[in-house]
């Protein structure tokens, strides 16, 4: 169908689209939703174990030690201390967050868990910022580039811990 529309510059001839036709497809077949049994949930936990926050903290502490030793071997003691301190600016607040998130109060219900996560995440960020502010007064001859290298590489441990999954626990052990 053609219609005439008046515009600022003159008249326009516009072709309209035909009205949409109702669809006559067959009804959508949704999969049946079934409630999981205790065995289904246990099987899922066995095949996909959860990552413990304490395991991530341990990886971070190992990364702190390794980075500090590598910096000591490649550079000097001040650089090694700066690198290790940068790593600890991530690892110590992560340990505080893990402690807060694994407390019984944060597991009471979903709302308490969400509130606890937000609270402990803010504490973690504040502690990290505080440690960074105190760095020049705590470490003589502070090397900011070395501190940032330690900080950034230790942050990447979150991704390493997510990729390297724990082995499923065998039944009966």
Residue 7 lies in a domain: no
Tell me which residue range forms the domain holding 134: 50-162
Residue 6 lies in a domain: no
Residue 81 lies in a domain: yes
Give me the pLDDT at residue 173, please. 45
Residue 37 lies in a domain: no
Q: Is 71 exposed, middle or buried (0-12, 13-18, 19+ CB in 10 A)?
A: buried
Q: Which of 148, 166, 139 is nearest to 54 (CA)?
A: 166
11's CB contacts (< 8 A; 6+ apart) are 4, 5
Give CA–CA dist 60/8, Å, rounded: 67
Q: Is 3 exposed, middle or buried (0-12, 13-18, 19+ CB in 10 A)?
A: exposed
Neighbours of 63 (CB within 10 A): 20
Residue 32 lies in a domain: no
Residue 20 lies in a domain: no
Q: How many separate domains does the chain show?
A: 1
Give me the pLDDT at residue 102, please. 85
Residue 15 lies in a domain: no
Residues lower than pLDDT 50 in the chain: 172-173
């Amino acid at each position: 169908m053609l219609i005439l529309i008046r515009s600022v510059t003159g008249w326009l001839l516009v072709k309209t689209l035909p009205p949409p036709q109702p669809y006559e497809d067959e009804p959508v077949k949704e999969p049946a939703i079934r409630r999981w049994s205790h065995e289904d949930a246990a099987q899922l936990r066995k095949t996909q174990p959860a990552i413990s926050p304490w395991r991530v903290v341990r990886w971070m502490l190992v990364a702190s030690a390794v980075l500090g030793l590598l910096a000591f071997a490649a550079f000097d003691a001040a650089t090694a201390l700066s690198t290790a301190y940068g790593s600890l600016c991530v690892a110590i607040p992560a340990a505080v967050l893990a402690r807060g998130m694994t407390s019984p109060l944060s597991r009471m219900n979903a709302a308490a868990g969400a509130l606890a996560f937000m609270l402990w995440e803010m504490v973690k960020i504040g502690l990290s910022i505080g440690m960074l502010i105190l760095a020049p007064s705590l470490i003589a001859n502070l090397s900011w580039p070395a501190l940032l290298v330690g900080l950034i590489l230790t942050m990447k441990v979150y991704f390493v811990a997510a990729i390297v999954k724990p082995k499923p626990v065998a039944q009966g052990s």
